[in-house]
Amino acid sequence: MFESFADLTAFQLLGLDPHSRLGAAVQFFLMDVTKIFALLVVVIYAMGLLRAMLSPERVREFVRGRPDWQARGMAVTLGAVTPFCSCSSVPLFIGFVEAGIPLGVTFSFLIASPMINEVAAVILVGVLGWELAALYVAAGLVVAWIGGIAMQTFRPERWVEDYVWKIRMGQVAKVESDNSLRARHRYAVAEVREIVGRIWKWVLLGIGVGALFHGFVPASWVADHLGGGAWYTVPGAVLLGVPLYANATGIIPVAEAMLAKGVAVGTTLALMMSVAALSLPEMLILRKVIRWQALALFAAVLAVAFTLVGWGFNLIV
């Protein structure tokens, strides 16, 4: 449906040549803009209606006071299903520390949360197919699990700012919610506006980059330089992703264009994870609660993990 709309608009209405670079780029852009934004609205609305999104307050209650492996399992799973705005990461961090949740578990949550969320998962299925979506989600869960453990071995407690330990949280506020269908509908609409309003720039940017790649990068160049999955392409992709930041949904169209041109799966996944989970603004926000040593370590652990995952997939696939 989206494809035929894009074909019609790009080739009939605008009269572009399907075999030209511009034609291919415009067709890709139109197809992904309509498809991804339609999916975004539908998925976010549906989840808002079901109130499927968990608040950090509830995550904290689920995770606290459990043995380490259980707490980590929950943190990773809940991180994956909790959309979270980076402006909440400081109160979230402090809330977890205050509840006595081990720092390694908190880091597992902080890794899983931006990298995986249900909205991105559904769009991944819609754009790249379920196999790749499953690979991405599985890789993300494993990295979050192991990344948290790796952080723990460096005893990151010594780098937490002193004031964090002194904060005492009040009784967690239980805000009662109106559960009528009308209230749910209103909540769902508000969620759509809030989330789409926050991420549309990233998504549009991602689609633009994907379209340029699709239209203007020749497949033969990709085959020569990136296709074989040479070992250095994976750390290269990770390093490229560190300064770049987009949310998990925004990077999907870029991955789509890369895969279609024959970039190796592991290399593409490494770039996706690096762009989604390692971001400079996020790091700077966390600097309020942990010192830069811990941040540098966090970035290094993730970079190594993404590289290993990328190599792994390039070997297997």
Partner 1 sequence: MKNIKVLGSGCRNCEITANAIAQAAREAGAEIELEKVTDIAEIMSFGVMSTPGVVVNGEVVHSGGIPGPDLVRGWVCD
CB of 273 to partner 1, least distance (A): 25
Question: What DSSP string runs through 149-169?
Answer: HHHHHT-GGGGB-HHHHH---
CB of 38 to partner 1, least distance (A): 23
The residues, ordered by sequence, that sit 6+ positions from 72 with a Cβ below 8 Å of its Cβ are: 104, 105, 108, 145, 148, 149
For partner 1, the closer of residues 91 and 208 by Cβ is: 91
- Tokens linked to 286: 């966390």
Using the structure block, give the residue that is written with the tokens 């652990």: 301
Binding mask 79-108 for partner 1 (x = CB under 8 A): -----xx-xx-xxx-xx--x----------
For partner 1, the closer of residues 7 and 57 by Cβ is: 57
User: Which of 50, 169, 223, 300 touches partner 1 by CB under 8 A?
Assistant: 169
Three-state DSSP class for 251?
A: coil
Does 185 interact with partner 1 (rule: CB under 8 A)? Answer: no
For partner 1, the closer of residues 91 and 236 by Cβ is: 91
Radius of gyration of the chain (CA): 21
The residues, ordered by sequence, that sit 6+ positions from 272 with a Cβ below 8 Å of its Cβ are: 136, 241, 248, 251, 252, 254, 255
Binding mask 50-79 for partner 1 (x = CB under 8 A): -----xxx--x-------------------
Does 170 interact with partner 1 (rule: CB under 8 A)? Answer: yes
Considering only the stretches 165-173, 213-221, 232-240, 296-304, report the one whose residues sit in contact with partner 1 under the rule CB under 8 A: 165-173
For partner 1, the closer of residues 84 and 136 by Cβ is: 84
The residues, ordered by sequence, that sit 6+ positions from 180 with a Cβ below 8 Å of its Cβ are: none
CB of 42 to partner 1, least distance (A): 20
206-225 positions binding partner 1, by CB under 8 A: none
d(CA 209, CA 29): 9
Task: Write the burial class of residue 73 (CB in 10 Å: 0-12 exposed, 13-18 middle, 19+ buried).
Answer: middle
For partner 1, the closer of residues 155 and 288 by Cβ is: 288
Three-state DSSP class for 76?
A: helix
The residues, ordered by sequence, that sit 6+ positions from 67 with a Cβ below 8 Å of its Cβ are: none
Does 182 interact with partner 1 (rule: CB under 8 A)? Answer: no
Residue numbers at the binding site for partner 1 (CB under 8 A): 55-57, 60, 84-85, 87-88, 90-92, 94-95, 98, 163, 166-173, 175, 186-187, 190-191, 194, 288
